[in-house]
């Protein structure tokens, strides 16, 4: 097989595996009403706590580092 045959074969395989592009790539329905419904269902649900366990663990770890290594405070402030 020469290089030309390989290119033709790859081209044919790609054409078979990929669907043709649509001429009009617009969505088939309006998505804004779905977004509004999603926002309405979230607002009617009970509000979740803003502090998760991971946030508390990070805050506790930061407090431990600050209390055990006070010289780390300028480094932590630099990265904020």
**Which of 47, 74, 76, 50 is CA-nearest to residue 61?**
76
> What are the boundaries of each domain within the chain?
52-80
List pLDDT tens digits, range 2-45: 777 889 999 999 888 887 777 776 777 888 898 888 888 876 66
Placement of tokens 């804004």 in the chain? 32
pLDDT of residue 42: 73
Q: How far, in Å, are 47, 50, 56, 66, 69 from residue 53 at the CA level?
A: 16, 10, 5, 20, 24
Is a pLDDT exceeding 70 seen at residue 1?
Answer: no
């Amino acid at each position: 097989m020469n290089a030309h045959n390989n290119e033709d074969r790859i081209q044919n395989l790609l054409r078979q595996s990929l669907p043709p592009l649509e001429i009009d790539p617009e969505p088939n329905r309006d998505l804004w009403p779905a977004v509004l419904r999603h926002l309405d269902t979230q607002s009617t649900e009970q509000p979740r706590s803003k502090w998760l366990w991971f946030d508390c663990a990070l805050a506790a770890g930061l407090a431990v580092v600050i209390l055990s290594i006070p010289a780390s405070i300028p480094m932590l402030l630099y990265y904020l």
